Amino acid sequence: FFIAPLPFIETHIDALNMEIQAQLPGRKLTITQQIWLNMCLTGILLTNTVNWKAFERAGLGEYKAKAISWMFRYSKLLWDNLLKVSLSLVLRRLGVMEGTLVIDDTDHQRSKRTKRIWGTHKIFDKKTGGYFNGQSIVFLLLVTPKITIPVGFRFYRPDPARAEWEKEDARLKKAGIGKSQRPAEPLFNPKYPNKSQQALDLIREFRQQHSQITVKAVLADGLFASQEFMDEASDLCNNVQIISKLKKNQKILSRGREWTLTDYFDNHQAVTKQIVVRGGEKVELLVNSARLYVCAHGKKRFVIAMKFPNEKEYRFVVATELSWRTEDIIQIFTLRWLVEVFFEDWKLYEGWGQMAKQWDEDGSTRSLILSLLLDHALLLHPEQLARLENNLPMCTVGSLRQ
């Protein structure tokens, strides 16, 4: 229970207000807005929900659910700038000058019928092989040697017209109907950008707003391994290294012969390499690499086959910059695991992944902004700052919350 906001949250909101005034002259948070944000972030941390009734109960009736909801819906908060300004504050306070940008997507399951939850659609469940109704979010994170910072997000929504066309096209194809007799592919609808386009928008925004940050590399999930995405992401970040994953059946050319990645690397001997992941832990991997012409990309890429000694199949890492060493690419690729840690921490302890049922686009977007604002506030918690100064590992959200 609480009747006043936590001190470190008040400190963060005060600093956020000053940052807004510095970056956006003439704009600021009103006293009421500051009180409301303090209450919301404290409520999220203590109840592990983004739920107004839970806040009312935890606040012993000091804050009424209807009043909280009204502020959420109708107050003229700078919603479009809150997360951006908070990020600037975090970067400056922590002295971050460089890092690796990581793109990944995550899904959040909802109930089977969701008339008012925005962006819900049918999503493939990797665990069961079935499908569920849920929301899909594309995240951009900045990973440094010490911390992982959420930078921005986009809700992904599939184009209904394209989804219907794909379903019908698959049915007709299975029935043996030729391509010329099947309906033509629908034109791109800008209202429904795909995940690669959303990821590029996030990178572009970050580069425009934080040009002082040196981006060492961009790391993306295998979903973003297209030639178009990798080349454009490289251009946006001054031709830095772009790293992703390829499928095992990806076609490559070597000495005039076409191979799948699996066949090619099965015919070449792997070597054992030891790498150090963030935190100092040493990990052994079986590794093989080559600079190969990737057919789908129409150019040479640096391709690495890697697996743990107890694994049966390789995972295939692809990189745009051919001058890097194999060890350096693998070292960057290990940051991918830290993003999974962030997702798990965020979903378990920062409210949105536990209970956030606000209606419509504003409801989903604004409640997620509040959750990530709490993450920024926790990064500047006195305990975190003390550990950073003493070169100690940062605390997880779960341990700080406890």
Q: What is the pLDDT of residues 121-133, one digit of tens each?
A: 898 888 888 889 9
CA dist 261 and 225 (Å) reads: 15
pLDDT score recorded for residue 126: 81
The structure tokens listed for 287 are 């590794």
Nearest one of 40, 9, 46 to 402, comparing CA atoms: 46
User: What integer pLDDT is reported at residue 247 of this predicted model?
Assistant: 92
Ranges under pLDDT 50 in the chain:
none
Vertex 230 angle, CA 224 and 232, to 5°: 120
Cβ-based burial of 128 (10 A; exposed 0-12, middle 13-18, buried ≥19): exposed
Q: 136 pairs with which residues across the strands?
A: 107, 156
In this prediction, residue 278 carries a pLDDT of: 65
d(CA 165, CA 163): 5
pLDDT number for residue 279? 61
- For residue 11, what pLDDT is reported? 96
Contacts 24+ apart (CB under 8 A), 18-25: 19/85, 19/86, 19/88, 19/89, 20/78, 20/81, 20/85, 23/81, 23/85, 23/88, 24/78, 24/81, 24/85
Compute the CA torsion angle 145, 149, 151, 157 (nearest 10 deg): 110
3-state DSSP of the chain: CCCCCCHHHHHHHHHHHHHHHHHCCCCCCCHHHHHHHHHHHHHHHHHCCCCHHHHHHHCCCCCCHHHHHHHHHHCCCCHHHHHHHHHHHHHHHHCCCEEEEEEEEEEEECCCCCCCCCCCEEEECCCCCCEEEEEEEEEEEEECCCCEEEEEEEEECCCHHHHHHHHHHHHHHHCCCCHHHCCCCCCCCCCCCCHHHHHHHHHHHHHHHCCCCEEEEEEECHHHCCHHHHHHHHHHCCCCEEEEEECCCCEEEECCEEEEHHHHHHCCCCEEEEEECCCCCEEEEEEEEEEEEECCCCEEEEEEEEECCCCCCCEEEEECCCCCCHHHHHHHHCHHHHHHHHHHHHHHHCCCCCCCCCCHHHHHHHHHHHHHHHHHHHHCCHHHHHHHHCCCCCCCHHHHHC
Q: What is the pLDDT of residue 44?
A: 94
